[in-house]
Structure 1
Amino acid sequence: MQALTRPANRGWRWLFDGFLIFRKNQLMLSLAVLGYWMLMALINTVPVIGQIAATVLIPVFSVSLMNACRTIEQGSPFPPQILFSGFHNNLRPLLVLGAIYLVASVSLLGITALVDDGVLFQLVVLGNKPEEQALSSSEFVLAVQLALVLFSPLVMAYWFAPVLVAWHDLSAGKSLFFSFVACVRNWRAFLVFCAAIMVFGALIPGLLVGLLSSFLANGGEMFSVMLTLLTVLIFLPTLYASFYVSYRDVFVTIDEDA
């Protein structure tokens, strides 16, 4: 399998086309994404085992959401059990992907402990909230920056990996390799994609909240809550749909001239 190299402006198209998929069936995609987050939150409530299970199952549920996006795009009937469809194909390598991600994440966060004495590690892995002084320290900020750098290659390796396992029958190792190569070849498109997410997911909503809060003395807080709700119901489903679009654009070309 050879990944295609797309131009930088494809990054904007991924998010826009993801919104078009969302428009085709807003209710079902929103329910699927909301159900995924609620299920993961429920699993995480189980001490220790729940956190491990939730992380290992991330690739499985990622495939479920990609199945939902593909179903909507194709105009096929939306089965009620779509959220668990990721368990149907190549479950073992998907669980292997999840286990590798768990070990790699813990290991990388362990490296950041050399910088901030384990504050970030305890916060993310153990769920122990440190003191405010520790969170505002320069060491903690440096640890967060180091984590972003260390996790970038891991995210690249996992971006397409679950779909490549489930839809193309690749092994866990091969899927990680092809995903990483695809991201490297399309780094410009991914850079623009990240910029688009920041603009539409953070910058514009933040500006709207700031402007309306200055004009509406008592309604600013209510508007902020409403905007957060719209983000959950519209932007998050669009974002997951854009993940599917990025895969389709790089590995499955529908229209080469589009």
Structure 2
Amino acid sequence: MQAASLPITSGWLWIQNGFQLFKRQPMAMFFWSLMTGFLISVSYLIPLFGQMLLIAGTPILTFITLSACRNIANGKPMLLNMWLEPLHDRDTRRRLLALGLAYLIFCLAGGFFATLPFLDSLMSAIDVDGAIDETALISAMRGPFITFGLLYVIISALFWHAPALIGWHRIKMSQALFFSMVACWRNKLPFLAYGASWAAIFFAIQMVGSFVTSLGVSPGTVQILLTPVNIIVAAVLYCSFYPAYFSVFGANYAAED
């Protein structure tokens, strides 16, 4: 698998191309964004285990998203019965489930190693009677959060392209993780621009919400107004995954054909 090395401007182009994909079939991707948000909300109703299931299922959700975007890019209308077609193959399901389990293990390990150096400061926020000093606890948690954030960048690079590499190219998990890491390293500047652009977009939406609230509109009304906007923006985010993958690994398709 050969990964292309792209200029920094590709990060913004992925978002633009994702928006173009969304415009082709907006209702289909709006539906998928809504369903994904629903699954995320349901996962929080089951403390701990719900989040673990969501993390383990992330590669499957990612592969479904990429497959839908590929169908849209090829001009195929996304019908309701097409969403689960990528999972019809038993071997593909097994590989993606194994990838999800590996992703969960990596995330748990990252959380453990991020917390371990700060364990003493975290424990000091709890007195001998078991009472928690919330201010001290919040201060003590900054270190683990920052450390995990740095570790998660590496974890994300390992798993970013892995669902497509496993599902479409049917290569081994270890190879998929390696190719994904190499691809992300070769394109670290585009991914930096990609992440910064999305951070700016979500920040702008929050600023608009705060501005509307400052005009006297109730926070509940603002939340209602922003909900469809957030769903659409999330749908464009999901659509941008496919251009990011195809621009990096697309040359391999011609070689395989």
TM-score w.r.t. length of structure 1 = 0.84
| Unpaired stretches in structure 1, ≥5 consecutive residues | 121-129
1:173 matched residue in structure 2: 174
Contact 2:166-2:172 within 8 A present in 1 as well: yes
Q: Relative CO higher for 1 or 2, CA cutoff 8 Å, sep ≥ 6?
A: 2
2:29 matched residue in structure 1: 29
Q: Which of the residues 94, 104, 115 maps onto 1:102?
A: 104
2:255 matched residue in structure 1: none
| Unpaired stretches in structure 2, ≥5 consecutive residues | 123-131, 253-257
**One-letter identity of the residue aligned with 2:102:** I
Separation in 2, partners of 1:87, 1:151: 27
Contact 2:71-2:77 within 8 A present in 1 as well: yes
* Per-residue CA distance 1:19-48 (angstroms, 9 max, x = gap): 111111111111112212323543564566
Against the structure 1 CA distance between its residues 221 and 21, is the aligned structure 2 distance closer, same or farther, given a 3 Å change threshold?
A: same
Matched-pair identity in %: 28
Separation in 2, partners of 1:179, 1:145: 23
Separation in 1, partners of 2:222, 2:10: 31
Contact 1:22-1:238 within 8 A present in 2 as well: yes
1:126 matched residue in structure 2: none
1:140 matched residue in structure 2: 141
2:129 matched residue in structure 1: none
2:249 matched residue in structure 1: 251
2:209 matched residue in structure 1: 209
Separation in 2, partners of 1:229, 1:250: 33
Separation in 2, partners of 1:88, 1:119: 49
Separation in 2, partners of 1:252, 1:135: 47
Give the structure with higher Rg (CA). 2
Measured after TM superposition, the shift of residue 116 of structure 1 is 3.9
Measured after TM superposition, the shift of residue 223 of structure 1 is 5.6
Moved more, 14-23 or 80-89: 80-89
1:8 aligned counterpart, secondary structure: coil
Separation in 2, partners of 1:23, 1:73: 11
**One-letter identity of the residue aligned with 1:9:** T
Contact 2:25-2:77 within 8 A present in 1 as well: no
Separation in 1, partners of 2:226, 2:245: 28
2:156 matched residue in structure 1: 155
1:225 matched residue in structure 2: 223
Q: How many residues align?
A: 241
Separation in 2, partners of 1:103, 1:251: 26
